[in-house]
Each structure stands twice: as structure tokens, then as C-alpha cells.
Chains A and B, each alone.
Chain A
Amino acid sequence: DIQLTQSPSFLSASVGDRVTMTCRASQAISTFLAWYQQKPGRAPKLLIYAASTLQSGVPSRFSGSGSGTEFTLTISSLQPEDFATYYCQQLYNYTRTFGQGTRLEIK
């Protein structure tokens, strides 16, 4: 089974900051990775797929990179609406496992 480990688990930042979070896979998954944003009481929202392809309608301040076992999600300039929990998901095999999440909080 493919395990995904996200770091950090918690991230405190201010509006306007550039932030980066990481997702590490237990085996190589090429670029078969997606990122989601989830706000409290809401369903996850797809941000990025294929490691770096921005979903339609997602602001360009979000970007993804990586391949193999290490991936990053970067927000170039934090906006108030970006404070949420972010999950990565492997798209390599049918079990579609998720990471445990990175919670982004306001400093």
C-alpha cells in the first residue's frame, strides 16, 4: 500500500506570506498526485492534479511540483481565504490514499 506523509502537520503564516508544504510517497508514483483544500464543514476542493496541473478556476498563486516520491504545494502570496487544511492524494493505484493533511493557520 502506498503511504503519503505530509509535512508539516501544522503551519502558521500571515497574509501575504509564501508558504510551501510537502508530501512524500512511500514509493515512486511518477506525477500521479493531486492536492485538495478543505475548509471546516466543507467538502474537499481539487486544486492540482498530475502534480502540477492547476484545476480550472483555481487561482494562479497555487502551484505544485515534484515527481517520484517528493512533492510540494506552494502558495505564493497567502490570502485570507487560503487558511484551510490541505491534503495530497496519490493517483498511482486504485486505492487513492491520502496524506494526513497540513493545517494552515493564521499567525
Chain B
Amino acid sequence: QVQLQESGPGLVKPSETLSLTCSVSGGSINSYYWSWLRQPPGKGLEWIAYVHYSGNTNYNPSLKSRVTMSLDTSKNEFSLRLRSVTAADTAVYYCARRRDYHDEWGQGIMVIVSS
């Protein structure tokens, strides 16, 4: 069974760039789509971006100007970069496998934006 694990800094300063990586084990990244989602404390879920193993990406229009997603098939992992962060970007960030739905999720990583 595929497993996903997020990694990255838990604290980012305002105006800087948030960078996260999702490592995929138990299956190849060379199929399916892969997503990043987030959940601010006490709030609901928001899809951020997805990438296909072919390299095709798509972004939430509300975040598109600040987001880049990429994948590294040699390492079986994919990444998220979110630029110019503010306190509103404080959230638990999840990586997930995306079919039509999201059927496999990482455990999530809490990222706090604060100076």
C-alpha cells in the first residue's frame, strides 16, 4: 500500500518561501496525479495544486501566482513551494494521491508563519 510522508520546516517567516516535500513509498510516483492540500487551524480543507507524473501541473486560482509544484521521479517524491507567505498561510499541509478523489494521504505537517 502506498504511503506518503510530508517533510519541511515547521516555521517560516512572513514574506519568505514555504518549501515542502512529499516522499512516496510502496508505489511508484510514475502514475496517478499527486496533490497538495491544506487546512488552517480549526477550519476546512483547501486544495492547493496537483502534478501529474508527466509533469503537467494545475493550481488553485486563488494561490496560482505564488505556488509552484514539481516532482522528482528519481527520488519518488514531489514538492511544493509557496512564495511570499503571510499568517494566513499557517495551516496543516497534506500531500495526497489524487485520482478523481484523494484516496491516500500523508499524515500532514503543521507550518506556522511567524517572525
Contacts and interface: CB of A to CB of B under 8 A. Distances in A.
Secondary structure class of chain A's binding surface, majority of residues: loop
A96 B47 contact: yes
Contacts, number: 51
Secondary structure class of chain B's binding surface, majority of residues: strand
A7 B19 CA distance: 36
A95 B58 CA distance: 9
Interface string A19-46: 0000000000000101010000011111
Contact of B46 (A50, A55, A98): A98
Interface of B: 35, 44-47, 50, 58, 60-61, 94, 96, 98, 100-103, 105-108
Interface of A: 1, 32, 34, 36, 42-46, 49-50, 55, 87, 89, 91, 94-101
